[in-house]
Amino acid sequence: MSLKYKRVLLKLSGEALSAPDGILDGEFTTKVCRAIKECAELGAQIAIVIGGGNIWRGRQGINIERSRSDGMGMLATLINSIAVQDTLIKCGLDAHVLSPLQVQRLAETYSPDLAKKYLEQGSAVIFACGTGNPYFSTDTGAMLRALEIEADILLCAKNIDGVYDSDPKQNPDAKRFSRISYDEVIERGLKAVDATASCMGQENGMGMLVFALKDPDNIRRALLGEDVGTVVCP
């Protein structure tokens, strides 16, 4: 099998990894990590960003100052990152957690050069704590890291199987796009990723593929260039 994309940034939804009665579904997380390991065995270099929505999202109705709330969200991504690192290692794939925040006992300090070094050695790299700054989502952090490591594409594995012209949960006739431009996503106000990430992708020529994580094998299909979601192009 020939890979369409060799080096990728895989953005995983924290909520997609969660269990109904807990913050993480261990069985499903293991399936996702096995799929990532299979992709690495095909020759893919895989960096990962994991959201923290299964632990902390926004202010959750609590009157917490925005920058502190965002700091809590960064720590939530660190928890998820360590869990996925442990699962990947148990599946047989070496993995490193890198963070722009100083948490030496839990993660290495992020730098693009270190990340690329680990990727070239065949290890998975997990980017925790977003950009390290408040007011930036993990979507934006994922786009930034994808650009910094010179990824071929940003893969966004979500609870939804692509980009639609309206909310498919509210409109049963919503149309899924197989391909759409960032300009159209921004113009229509579609909720593929946040506007900052879309503008960064558009300005820097970084494509994005949005697909469903429900079937972890979609990660392999995406790397092979199969039709598994919506391609968002510059």
Q: pLDDT digits over 127-164, tens only?
A: 999 999 999 999 999 999 999 999 999 999 998 999 99
pLDDT tens digit sequence for 154-182: 999 998 999 999 989 899 999 999 999 99
Residue 59's pLDDT is 64
Q: What is the mean pLDDT of the chain?
A: 94
The pTM for the full model equals 0.95
Domains of the chain (ranges plus CATH)? 7-233 (3.40.1160.10)
Residue 218's pLDDT is 97
Phi then psi dihedrals of residue 133, to 5 deg: -130, 150
* Helix (H) or strand (E) segment spanning residue 75: helix 66-90
Which residues are within 8 A (CB) of 119 and not within 5 positions of it... i.e. 6 or more apart?
7, 45, 46, 47, 125, 149
* Three-state secondary structure call for residue 19: strand
